[in-house]
Amino acid sequence: MAEGKPLIQVKNLHKSFISGEGTLEVLNGIDLEIKTGEMTAIVGASGAGKTTLLYIMGALERPTEGNVLFESRDVFELNEKEQAKFRNRNIGFIFQLYYLLPEFTVLENAAMPALIGSRSTKEALATAKELLSEIGLAERVHHKPGELSGGEQQRVAIARALVNRPQVVLADEPTGNLDSRTGETIYNLLRRLSLAREQTFVIATHNIALANKSDRVLHLADGKIDRTGKGDFDV
């Protein structure tokens, strides 16, 4: 397992949603720590709350109760403008659906968070180009997303997530929209990047075999982490 200081601390995290049928408790007292340089997989059945947990850890959604500490600072004590800056500088996001902008090139898509973060165009494009080359897309930088395969599009999304050198990358089912062979290739790429860059990853996935390639596996059920460690979980 990767060693390092606690980067993220989640304390007594609760999240509920109000609907016409009453209150739905999605997260029910989550406590966990993510260490710097660690690759953690979160597994669980559909609807177990994996995505909700990632979104709260990334300050995309507020908890009903509890705290998320990033380097000992509660991210929900920040105002909306401060949270937006925090996300841009410190967190990279990878989603099941790639969310690439179809009108922009691969290079422009990968550089987008750096451009939004006010880095110079020259620096942003140079960093994005270096990342795209590292993950095998050097020949595709001037293509549009619609000209790429699903696996290639997810590689662009990975480069986009890394372009600001974030302290943590949160990946929500990054292989869920891919065939098994391509999905394994993408997961292996994330693992390689984690080791080579000492990059912290938190990955939500249904795929136990892929999850077991991580440093640590957390199993989420009934709104709680009920098991930790690698194994053949039922999800």
pLDDT digits (tens, 9 = 90+) for 121-157: 999 999 999 999 999 999 999 999 999 999 999 999 9
**Does 64 have pLDDT greater than 50?**
yes
Confidence of residue 30 (pLDDT cuts 50, 70, 90): very high
- Model's pTM, two decimal places? 0.92
Phi, then psi, of 72 in degrees rounded to 5: 75, 5
Domain boundaries, the chain: 38-59+80-228
Question: Counting beta carbons within 10 angstroms of the beta carbon of residue 6, is it exposed (0 to 12), middle (13 to 18) or buried (19 or more)?
Answer: middle
Q: Is 38-59+80-228 a CATH 3.30.70.330 domain?
A: no
pLDDT digits (tens, 9 = 90+) for 83-105: 999 999 999 999 999 999 999 99
Nearest to 160 by CA among 172, 150, 173, 169: 169
